[in-house]
Structure 1
């Protein structure tokens, strides 16, 4: 991110995208020329293979090929979903809604961050790269480390609530930033708060999602959660330009902050039913 802005500042966006395309090409070329590793794919997926055999053995009334297909479909696709809904029962929908809305405020706001910095505030590309990409990166790492410590110390649901509140609140700092002339120090303070809260919230959310995945279906269930937690924000972020054009940046960031309120109430709901969630949580191996 920072490199692209530096190149655009000193050369042009055309050169910046050409460099990014060339760097992507390095990865593509590496994949094409690299030799295929000698991997026992059956052994790598032995847990799924065993599950498929177990499920197929329950369907001996079917032709062998159909029984194997039904066993695979249950083990790889239907099983993870049925396991989640059977385990969490009446709380399953609330959990999925929380996963969907937890990062919606942060993701929707992030879509318009660079246009806000560059076009509205008037910061140079170098200033944006220095503060939001380089300095912001280290603040995110600091937030993640702090989030991990806090989760261990106070438990995941309390930090999940703190992350939801902080994410919504830091969006309102951009409303304040929009009211004043560009100042790098003020930008650094806002970016620090935003990235620290984002790091804490992400760690708490990942820890919470990991605690809810079953050892038998870890990959599929975590893929479901991780896809769901970004999809609504990405979708709504596509309309952010319309909101800014019709109302302005201050109103947009206020709306983005308010979009975080449902997550706060849903976390409170989960905390209220914490004992129930703990009782339904899957047992972890080891």
Structure 2
């Protein structure tokens, strides 16, 4: 399911950008295509309908999941039939359908994972989901761009649509979650009650701030790593081989290790440990900035940063899943995961200004220090989180 979620993401960004560039579409138009990703941010608007209604005979979760995946396959095929140089508007429409069905699939899989796993299993389950997600992204972006030297882009999109059958087969074979809580009976109950239920909890606002701040330093640092590597004199080949290839393996290992540790330590203690390790790994970039060009240094820093980042993400995702009420799983998780994207999309935006103003060493030191507010908030949430 993680693989099925990750596969479509970059087919409407990096792969589509490469196709449009090859077809001679101007850069302004290509830049505007970032807007087709809006369904991923706005998915909490239609999540209540997925909590309220059942679609088909497969159950509340698998019914929606099957139809989302079928819609996604058809949208990918349709995108492959468009002509970027002739009608960018048709490309945008098809790409928007892909992101919409992909966002629906994400909502349902997030809800499914929460409902099928016990609280004790959420850590490892989330880690496996994250790894599958990254593998899907790697196949779509890396695999898609490599195949572009041998196949046309329409053929690549048809191939990716065929690979999405993995998700359909998984949906048909998977069991439907058994929930012993009444589902929403009206649209109002599905839309309003999830928010009322959440904000009536103790420390509800503090939890939202924690979600915002826990990975803020990591997000800001990650946003500026490529310019940092280039500024230190690394070639794009070295960056690709070490940062993307070697780093991907470290992230996968980190997610798995984090999931296993969460089985032993619980989510609360894992958030503490992984949060501290994330901050320490960011200091590694400051050390590398002081030392200068070193392939071994780059490999060590990236391995540690990706390892701890994978661990932190697994705990972060498991924590958000644990917060949801199983009556409103889809709506509440969609809201929290949309909030999770704010540090990456908005708060990290001034990272370039800070890097230019402070210099690389001070910038990465600053990114490590701003992890402290998230950890302090975690301390205040101790009574709530000790249960997980």
Using the size of structure 1 for normalisation, the TM-score is 0.72
| 2:329 matched residue in structure 1 | 218
Tell me which residue corresponds to 1:99.
211
Equivalent pairs, count: 233
Determine if contact 2:234/2:293 at 8 Å carries over to the other structure.
yes
> What 5-or-longer segments of structure 2 have no aligned partner?
1-16, 23-143, 169-175
Give the match's secondary structure for 2:284: helix
Check the 8 A contact 1:170/1:194 in 2, yes or no: yes
1:33-112 equivalent positions in 2, closer than 5 A? 51=183, 54=185, 71-75=186-190, 77-86=191-200, 89-112=201-224
Is 1:251–2:362 an aligned residue pair? yes
Equivalent residue for 2:372? Answer: 261
Provide the secondary structure at the position in 2 that maps to 1:172: helix
* Residue pair 1:107, 1:230 contacting (<8 A) in 2 also: no
CA offset digits 1:228-254 (Å, max 9, x no partner):
122034212211111122221111111
CA 1:227–1:28: 2 relative to 1, 3 Å: farther
Structure 1 pair 83–175 and aligned structure 2 pair: CA distance change class (3 A): same
CA drift of 1:207 comes to 1.4
Q: TM-score, normalised by structure 2?
A: 0.54
Calculate the aligned-residue CA RMSD, in Å: 3.2
Secondary structure in structure 2 of the residue aligned to 1:238: coil
Counterpart in the other structure of 2:242: 131
Aligned to 1:158: 269
Matched, 1:207 2:318: yes
The structure whose Rg is larger is 1
Q: Secondary structure at the match of 2:270?
A: helix
Aligned pair partner of 2:292 in 181, 186, 194: 181
